[in-house]
Structure 1
Amino acid sequence: MRQTRFLILAFLFISQVLFAKTYYINANTGNDKNNGNSKNTAWKTIWKVNQQTFKPGDVLLFASGTTYDGQLMPKGSGNKKNVIKIDRYGKGEKPQINGMGLKESALYLYNVEYWEVRNLKITNKGGEPKSRRRGVVVRAEDFGECHHIVLEDLEIFDVNGLLEKKKGGGSAILWQNMGKEVKTRFVGLQILNNYLHHCERNAINSKGNIMRTNWYPSLDVVIRGNLIENIPGDGIVPIGCDGALVEYNIIRKGIDSMPIGDAAAGIWPWSSDNTLIQFNSVSDHRAKWDGQGYDSDFNCKNTTFQYNLSFDNWGGFILICNNGFKLGEPMNMGTENTIVKYNLSINDGIRPYKAHNKRYFAPTFHITGPVKNTSIHHNIIVIPNKEKNEMENHVVEFQDWGKTFPMKTVFENNIIRNESQAKILERKTTDFVNQNNDIQEGFDYNERNPQKILEQLQSNPLFKNDKEFMKLYAFIKEFVKNNKEISF
């Protein structure tokens, strides 16, 4: 009996492999009346692709240098051993999908799993900016567990969504899981090595299960190696995840086009647990409110920021916050156990005009609302003189979002170098421990290169023979080597 069952399973597996097909699409030489099974019998349009239901192991190859108008919405799912792939063939530019602003996204993966999409250019620009316009949308609805979606080596640009978050915004990539009938989440979603630029409002964001009363977080989400440029809003925002990994991403060349009071930051989780954010660089964020490089936002537990670089962000290095007005509701069980360690911040907090609170508000660390058990240690903070005398110079500022101040914050073993005097504003925070920090004021700030800054600090007692410091140094050294176009 066991042998018979094994033979049946083996037959099914071999059948899937044998019947998997490679399909070719060529906008220049193809014809939708062809079978699509060879370069000489390629299909012509994505309309033809959208009519098919693909099977495990199938491969879709678009000809390099070709362009397609409309929305690509492939159907069918692969399986664990036989994923479905989209890629390109031939030499030349990546094939380009122009959504033309006609639909929500130019690439739409809806209720499918085990797909890998690589080497496409994607745009979705309409005549006027429009709410909820995206480049790529991955959506699972009443699906259960949606496995193994990979977006890799894509270039997504010219997506003109709205700048206002409350009106729906827009983004290069959105993933969303929802389910009224069936609990739904992503397992193994990967967003890797993409180039995202000139998109409004955001780069990579998500919508997921945020209610703790119905907690069903996405698992094994990895966002790695992406380059994000010329995007005014949020950079990378995992929502409704447990154990998301965000690493080796670069966000830079931010645009000062956000409306007054519309908040955004570089990398931050919301309604997520055990998020690890490491080996990233965020610079030039210019949102008119917040505008930090990093953020540990509300309804998050056990978020760790380590070995990251942050520089020239108008709002500061990091925000740690909890909405006290909504604390205790299903969508906000608190912000707890945030760890910020072994990061390098240079020249953050340089907003050149008053924010909507009528202050030049841009502390290096902004901690507000009833956050609990925050640990900030072994970070290097370099604060040059501000451009204007009236600009504030606060290393740490506590505030009471929701009329409650932070609780149990430890700020220790950090190195702070100020050209002028800086302040730590405690106000009415509870159980703030501020100890053993190496603070030097009035130093001559003449070195911007992050590698050289760390080399000057290697012999400091706080970092001598420290393996974690050497992880930060190794990352910074490689970053400087690979980004010579940045004039530190």
Structure 2
Amino acid sequence: MYGDKTKTPWTPILNTYIARNKLFNIGGDGIAPHMTESAVIEYNFIDGYNTTSEGFNAGMWVWNSDNALFQYNEATGGISIRDGMPWDFDQANKGTIYQYNYSYGNEGGTLLICPENEGNGIVDCIFRYNLSYNDLYQTFTIGVGDTAQNIQVHNNVFYLDETMNTNHMVAQGGNNHAEIFNNIFVNYGTGTYTKKDKWQYRHNLYVGHNVPDYETIPDVQPLYSDPQFVNTDFPVRFLIRIWKHVM
């Protein structure tokens, strides 16, 4: 068990399962089962979070937890850049996975990577097979700490239409490590890309405006071809529509 070295002993909550909830207009955090081991959070929908708080709140995330799995969730309406994004690799996380999730219209962007300078940091976390559509601010927000290791972001689609000024990649935050590979970055807006030291980029596909050259994003074998999406009419409240047929 991983946990936070400042909490002795670390005694997690077990058998946590959170599924098929609809949340609206949440003042602070949406779903946040902290101090858990192998929690599963799936098929949840949230529209509006951090709506009244002056603190830092995200959509669905854990803190001081091992092996949490977030999948088939939908999140929109995150308010502000404190934090205001749906997904968050936060302090003292090991083995957290986000997969098959859908986010759109969140003011804080898409994914927060938030290590601190103390504690056990963020290790072996994966963000894969997710779809982000018109999330604002910046696709990734990175905390100031140096304790994030082996973060993998792969096989996702990050899509921005012509109305957006979101920056897909930024250089902020601490001296941490992440691998960004096999993703599709679509930018029809005015946002830009900036490389981050110790981040490794490979086999990503870049489409639209301000496509980065190697000096901007040192991607190994980048792609620039048309991803040939069949339909870019992205749905809203997609999960709720599905539930009408399966629940």
TM-score range, shorter chain: 0.7 to 0.9
- The 1:480/1:383 distance shift into structure 2, 3 A limit, reads farther
Distance 1:374 1:398 in 2: 16
Q: How far 1:419 sits from its partner (Å)?
A: 0.8
1:418-471: CA deviations, max 9, x gaps?
1135333234x32x211111110149xxxxxxxxxxx95379xxxxxxxxxxxx
Equivalent pair of 2:29/2:50 in contact (CA under 8 Å): no
Q: Which residue is 1:481 aligned to?
A: 241
Structure 1 residue ranges without an equivalent (≥5): 1-207, 350-361, 444-454, 460-475
Equivalent pair of 1:265/1:287 in contact (CA under 8 Å): no
Which amino acid is the alignment partner of residue 440 of structure 1?
V
Distance 1:304 1:212 in 2: 23
Taking the TM superposition and a 5 Å limit, the aligned residue runs for 1:38-437 are: 211-254=6-49, 256-259=51-54, 262-324=55-117, 327=118, 332-349=119-136, 362-368=137-143, 369-370=145-146, 371-386=148-163, 393-400=166-173, 404-407=174-177, 409-427=178-196, 429-430=197-198, 432-437=199-204
Aligned-pair RMSD on alpha carbons? 2.8
Structure 2 residue ranges without an equivalent (≥5): 211-226
TM-score (norm 2): 0.80
1:80-138: CA deviations, max 9, x gaps?
xxxxxxxxxxxxxxxxxxxxxxxxxxxxxxxxxxxxxxxxxxxxxxxxxxxxxxxxxxx
Q: How far 1:210 sits from its partner (Å)?
A: 7.8
Q: Which residue is 1:146 aligned to?
A: none
Higher helix share: 1
Which amino acid is the alignment partner of residue 251 of structure 1?
I
Runs of 4+ more than 4 Å apart: 208-212
Equivalent pair of 2:50/2:84 in contact (CA under 8 Å): no
Equivalent pair of 1:398/1:405 in contact (CA under 8 Å): no
Q: How far 1:258 sits from its partner (Å)?
A: 3.0
- The 1:418/1:238 distance shift into structure 2, 3 A limit, reads same
Considering Cα pairs closer than 8 Å and 6+ residues apart, tell me whether 1 or 2 has the greater RCO.
2
Which amino acid is the alignment partner of residue 230 of structure 1?
N
Larger radius of gyration: 1
Equivalent pair of 1:258/1:288 in contact (CA under 8 Å): no
Which amino acid is the alignment partner of residue 437 of structure 1?
N
1:287-337: CA deviations, max 9, x gaps?
44110011110011111000000000000011011012xx2xxxx211111
TM-score (norm 1): 0.42
1:34-72: CA deviations, max 9, x gaps?
xxxxxxxxxxxxxxxxxxxxxxxxxxxxxxxxxxxxxxx
Secondary structure of residue in 2 paired with 1:253: strand
Which amino acid is the alignment partner of residue 138 of structure 2?
P
Which amino acid is the alignment partner of residue 413 of structure 1?
N
Distance 1:209 1:320 in 2: 17
Q: How far 1:231 sits from its partner (Å)?
A: 1.1
Q: How far 1:267 sits from its partner (Å)?
A: 0.4
